[in-house]
Structure formats: structure tokens, C-alpha cells
Structure 1
Amino acid sequence: MVSFGPYYHGLPELGIAEEFKHKVLALFVSSSGKDKQFFYCQIFKVVDQIRNCYVGVSRDAYDDGALAEMMLLDACFAIYLMKIALDDEEKSFHFCQHLGMAVMTFAFQDMYLLDNQIPLWVIKLLTNLIYGNREEGPKLICKFSSYFVFADSRLTRRIPGEDKKQPLHLLDAFHRLLVEELDNAGKELVEDLDNAGIELVEEVDNAGKELVEEVDIAVNKCQWWPGRKEYRNEFWKYNRQSHSVTDLKAKGIHFKPSSFCLKNIKFKSYTFYGQLQLPVWLFTTHSKQLFMHMIAYEASPESDTDSTILCYVCFLKSLVIKSEDVKELREKKILFSTSDSDEQLVKVIKEIDTCGLDDDHTFYDVKMRIEKHCSSKANTWIAELIHIYFRSPWTLIALSAATFLLCLTFLQTY
């Protein structure tokens, strides 16, 4: 419904919103006490930096003046939508009066499309020009991002890692919130991340040493062939089965929410059971599209992000196969959804397109531990015993009664 940036600018089907952008700009200009030319000149000064953010935008298609005016209108409209999301009733009524309430939902979805972005620093520049306060821009973006990702206002100051490197655009800001470990106040858990990083390095080193030893053995043998008995057991590392939630539950694995960070997936194996901690996520009408564009952003050539979102989606796809899987994760307060149907949520998760990409690196250690736990016959037998005979009071009473009668039979025979 709304174009941000040059790639969709000028399409006939987006003409209604394009006309409305001029009214939004006039609204901000009148409230700031400055004229439109002032804002236009400030954007025009950095038009070369803006042009460098895009590929294939020639001066023949958009000269400096046209590009500067486009950025002014788009950045102003982005600020306008952020204000609406943060309960600005006056602007919300103004939007519905011109475009209608139905368009508002689609307008917010257009803000996180990968090919429909404008530089985030342009939005900050415009907020500084409008409000005359350098803190207003970062606060507005943080509050909007927090509301969009967490549905609350825990983030008030800055996007994680902003002091080291500014986010490229809004989609990059949303991505950082989902892959960084934050507390309830929106602060980064630096200590926990450092500890996790140390453990990860140690595990990688240990795995690396084991791998070198295995390679050395293979070289010394001078022959490595799957048919050889000493190497047949190595194929389970590459032929791991995907276990659904119900399958893992039958194997004695319990589920527990971890945090809002999609990287926070942990597994611990105990004597009689296992515990898989999964991140909390609310599936809404825009979750499918949001994940697909984040995966596309991770796979972009110029992106310096890791593939956390891709790994999380692939892991979730392996866990959720049928409605019973969703029901279990709902009961454990891990998955939430605006839809009441479990079947619908299964369909949404399956329809998230990963473009044929699959990265096993991020959660490789977790999957290996789960596979090791499930391959243990002792754990499986104990889990089946508990799952069958201790899942309800009535099965426990029946087992106790049968055991008691068996004991009486032994005594009577004696």
C-alpha cells in the first residue's frame, strides 16, 4: 500500500498513499514552525549518501532533487506511522479519515519489507529537524521497535549494539531485537552472553580436536568407506531424524520457555528426563512475512548478520508437524497466537519460505544432545514408563492396584 524508497516509487496502485504523504508532510511542517524548504534543503545536503545506500538508482531515473523530495516524504510518513503505533489518537484519526482503518494494517507491514526500506539515519535526521531534540529520534525508533517486536515498551533508549554500529534500516533494528538477549528492561545481558560465548568456544574447540583426531585416523587407515564397520556409526551425525514435539515428549523431554531471544535454545539431559528450553514468540498475521524478509536479509550479500532467524525457523519447522505439537507448546507458554486454531498455526509455520536454505550451525550442539538423549534406550524406557503409566492419576492407580494384586498372588502362592 505504501512505498518507502525508490524501488516501488511511482507504481500506479500506490498512488493513493503517495498523495496522502504530502498531507502528512504539511501536518508536520505546520506543527514545527518551519517551512518545507528548510527540511528539503537539509535532506538535499546528504542526498549523495542516500543514493549510495541503493543499487541501480541512476540519476536518469531520479535526479538529486527528486530523490531528496522522495526521502523527505517517505521519512516523514514513517515517523507518522510510528506515532500512530504509539497511541497518537489524533494522527490515528487523521489516517483513518483519509485512507481508512483497513489500510493501516498493511501500511505497518510495508515498513519491514526488505526491498521497501529507507536508511534509518534519515529518519533520525528528520526527527531532529522536526522536534529540535537529538534524543527524540532514537527514543521514537526504540519505542516503536519495542512495541512492534515485544508488544510492550521495555526498550526506551537505544537499539542493541547501536553504540558500535547503527542499524541500516527498520528491518535491521527488528532483527537485532530478536537475536540479542535482553532483560525485561530492554538491557543487554552482557555477562550471560559472555559466559555463553566462552562455553561455545570451548565446545567448538573440543569438537575441533575430536574432528582432527578422527580425520587423522581416517588418513592413517588410507581408506574411508561407509561400508567399513568402524565408520558405520559415524553416519548418525549426518542422518539425524527430525523429532516433533510429541515425539520428544514421548522420549521424556519436557519443554520450558527461555526468553524472547530467538537464539536462546538450550537442552539439558538428566537421568530420567530431558529439558528443552525454547524462546517465546507471538504469531500474528504478519509473522510469516516478517520471518521471510528477515531470512532474505540474512542471506543478502552485504549483510553482516548471522543466520539466527533462519536457524530458528528451520528448528521450529522440525518441531511443529501437527496440531498436537502446537497444543503442547501453547500449554507450556512458549508459542502464542492471535489465531484460535492450532491447525492454522501449523499451516503458517509450514508456509514460512526459507528459500531452500538450511543452516545447522547455530543449534548444532543442541540437536546433537537431543539425538544422544533420544538414542539412549534407558532414557527411552523410563520415559515410556512415565508417559504411559504416570500421565494421569487413574493410570497410576491402575498400576498400583495391579502391582498390589500381583504381590497378593505371590503371597497366596507362598
Structure 2
Amino acid sequence: MTYVDEDIQSRRRKLHRVPVQLRQDLKHIYEPAVVPLGPYHNRQHPQLHLVEPLKNELCDIVCGDDKRKQVLVINIFKRIGEICYFYGGTTGYGYMDLAAMMLLDACFLICYMQEGETQTLIRQRLGMSGVLFMNRDVFMLENQIPLWLISFIHPDHQSLLCQYLSNNVYGGIKLTQLPWGDGRGEEPIHLLEAVHRTTFILHETPENPSNFLRLIKKCNHPSTGKEVSSRTHWQMMNNNTPYWSSVNDLKAKGVRFRRSSNCLTDIKFLSFAWYAELHLPFFYITYNSKVFFSNAIAFEMSPETNTNLLLCLTFIQTYFTINPTN
């Protein structure tokens, strides 16, 4: 197979690499430190001697025996055209070598996402320091594999993804179904997009209106006709009366703050006679947060990506405000 079918190109999106403008002097943000996934950073990786035996061990656990491994490699090889298109080419790998790599990496990702004995095995092999960096590596844009490989290997991939996304995004609040299930949207092409879609899901009801969501929709879908403003979005964002004010300014005007939930779009404003309440979501900012948001922004800036860029930029701006020296 030396070409990619035109029908594949019409149905699939590529994994675009991080733009050069973003990655300058930020190797620790965009390049995996412990676990390379996919062909971009696999060769010559300094931790390959530690991770490769672990990947083979986990692949044996997931597949069960050599016969099933051979069948899976052959089945993945049959769709090697999609994989080559996903990465923009073979990147110096033979087709069969690339298929075998996809099986190893998919099995590793399955064991990483599921709870149980495999998590204990990963901690034993990598150590706690390796696990901490591994949790960053899986969110790096250039360290992704096609998400459909998970469904190709795991018999109950939807439950696996629901459990992982629930624990990762909502801290244990269980999703009953995937945000893109039942034809509600295109399936994510990799795990980073799946976490992005779940983290920044736009959900608004009449009982819980969100001023922030209306702002996002206004910026992404500007008015037309007579409603068009003569001011540009840049001018509106940088004038003396910005869309958002500081906490101190709002408190001075009688606005009280309350905690809403883990959902990052669960924002609402309640006005009373003598005061008002602003309900905001709560989330923990860690060093890993910078890696996730930075790679999510790089993903949003990629070609063929249709996302709410302002939403992710808002949260990364919050991080840099809290941690200006990182």
C-alpha cells in the first residue's frame, strides 16, 4: 500500500504537529518525557529502554496470546492507510512496523485508562516519578494515536472511555454516555480531543443559563446586518470596560462568589434585591494543567479543527495569571 485512498482523506482529519511558533524553548511542554506514543518521538527516546519492555508486557495482558496479537496487527495493517494519513506519512517506518507500534501503544493506553492491576504494574515499572510524567505525556498533541484503535482492541471501549473521562474531568462523577454519542457530533480523532471535548462541553439550559457561554457564542458567531458593531473584537476585549472584571471589583459592587461544580462551563449569575451571586466552577491548577492547556491550545490552532478557541485561551490565561513565572 503506497497511497492513501481519497475517500479516507474526505472522512478523516490529520494529527497536525505543534506549530514552530508555539514550541520554541518549550520542549518540556510538547515532547514526552517518559512514554512516547506514535511515531513522532519514538525513535531515540531516552526512556525507550524502560518503556518498551513495559509496553510488550501490557500488550500480552490485553491481547492474551500471540495468536490474537498477530490477528490484531494484521487487522490494523489493513487500515494502515488511515494511520499514515493521520500522521501525514509513514515518518520512516515500514507499514508492518507501524501497525505493530500502534498495537503496543493502544494496549498501553488501554491499561493506562483502566483501573486495576495494570495501573499497579505501570507504577512498579516506571516508579512514581515516571507515572507523574506519564500523566503529562498522554495529553501532548504530538504524542497521540488514532482513538479508533481503542475500539478496535477493547471489547467495551465506550465504558472504558466514559470511566476515564469521568475520573479525569469530573473527579469521579460518572458519565452515562460519551459527549459525542448517539450522533451528537463527530468522534474525536485522539484522546486529547476527547478530553478537550468533555472538559469544555457547552451545555446550557433555561434553568441554568450561562452568561459566559453566551459570551463565547457571541464571539464565535458575530451578529450580521444592522446588529454588526463598528468595533472589532480586539477593541472590545481591550477597551476600558472589558467583558470580565476582577474579583475585587465585583465584590465592591456587592457580588458574592459561590462554588458551582467541577464542570468548567457551570457558570451562572443570580441577581437579588441588595446583592448578587456569581457561581463559578472549581478546579485544581497544577503543573500538569499547563501542559494540558498548552497542548489543547495547540490542538485548537491546528488546521481542520473547529473548536471554541476563546474558551481554552481564557483558562490558560487564568493559569499564567496565577503562575506568572512558569
- Unpaired segments of 5 or more residues in structure 2? 1-33
- Name whichever structure is richer in helix by fraction: 1
Q: Name the stretch that deviates more: 96-105 or 46-55.
A: 96-105
- Distance in 2 of aligned mates of 1:243 and 1:296: 27
- Distance in 1 of aligned mates of 2:286 and 2:108: 24
Whether the 8 Å contact between 2:260 and 2:266 is mirrored in structure 1 is yes
1:302 to 1:72, Cα distance in 2 relative to 1, 3 A: same
* Matched length: 282
Q: Say whether residues 1:146 and 2:166 are aligned partners.
A: yes
Structure 1 counterpart of 2:278: 276
Whether the 8 Å contact between 2:38 and 2:144 is mirrored in structure 1 is yes
- Distance in 1 of aligned mates of 2:200 and 2:72: 35
Instruction: Report deviation, 1:351.
Output: 5.4
Greater Rg by CA: 1
- Distance in 1 of aligned mates of 2:121 and 2:236: 63
Whether the 8 Å contact between 1:119 and 1:168 is mirrored in structure 2 is yes
1:208 to 1:238, Cα distance in 2 relative to 1, 3 A: farther
Whether the 8 Å contact between 1:265 and 1:276 is mirrored in structure 2 is yes
- Distance in 2 of aligned mates of 1:171 and 1:309: 13
Whether the 8 Å contact between 1:175 and 1:294 is mirrored in structure 2 is yes
Higher relative contact order, chain-length normalized (CA < 8 Å, sep 6+): 2
1:308-362 per-residue CA deviation (whole Å, 9 max, x = no partner) reads: 2113433x36xx96xxxxxxxxxxxxxxxxxxxxxxxx32xx357xxxxxxxxxx
Whether the 8 Å contact between 1:177 and 1:261 is mirrored in structure 2 is no
Q: Which amino acid aligns with 1:294?
A: A
1:319-330 correspondence to structure 2 within 5 Å: none
Instruction: Report deviation, 1:42.
Output: 1.3
Structure 2 counterpart of 1:42: 75
TM-score, reference length from structure 2: 0.73
What CA RMSD, in Å, does the superposition of the two structures yield over aligned residues?
3.5
- Distance in 1 of aligned mates of 2:266 and 2:214: 13
Say which SS state the counterpart of residue 77 (structure 2) adopts.
helix
Whether the 8 Å contact between 1:160 and 1:180 is mirrored in structure 2 is no
Whether the 8 Å contact between 2:210 and 2:269 is mirrored in structure 1 is no
Structure 2 counterpart of 1:126: 153
1:72-221 correspondence to structure 2 within 5 Å: 72-83=103-114, 86=115, 88=116, 90-127=117-154, 133=155, 136-161=156-181, 163=183, 164-180=185-201, 191-192=205-206, 200=214, 211-212=227-228
- Distance in 1 of aligned mates of 2:207 and 2:77: 42
1:70 to 1:193, Cα distance in 2 relative to 1, 3 A: farther
1:256-275 correspondence to structure 2 within 5 Å: 256-267=258-269, 272-275=274-277
Q: Which amino acid aligns with 2:240?
A: N
Q: Say whether residues 1:71 and 2:73 are aligned partners.
A: no
1:150 to 1:303, Cα distance in 2 relative to 1, 3 A: same
- Distance in 1 of aligned mates of 2:236 and 2:214: 24
User: Structure 1 vs Structure 2: percent identity of aligned residues?
Assistant: 33
Say which SS state the counterpart of residue 106 (structure 1) adopts.
helix
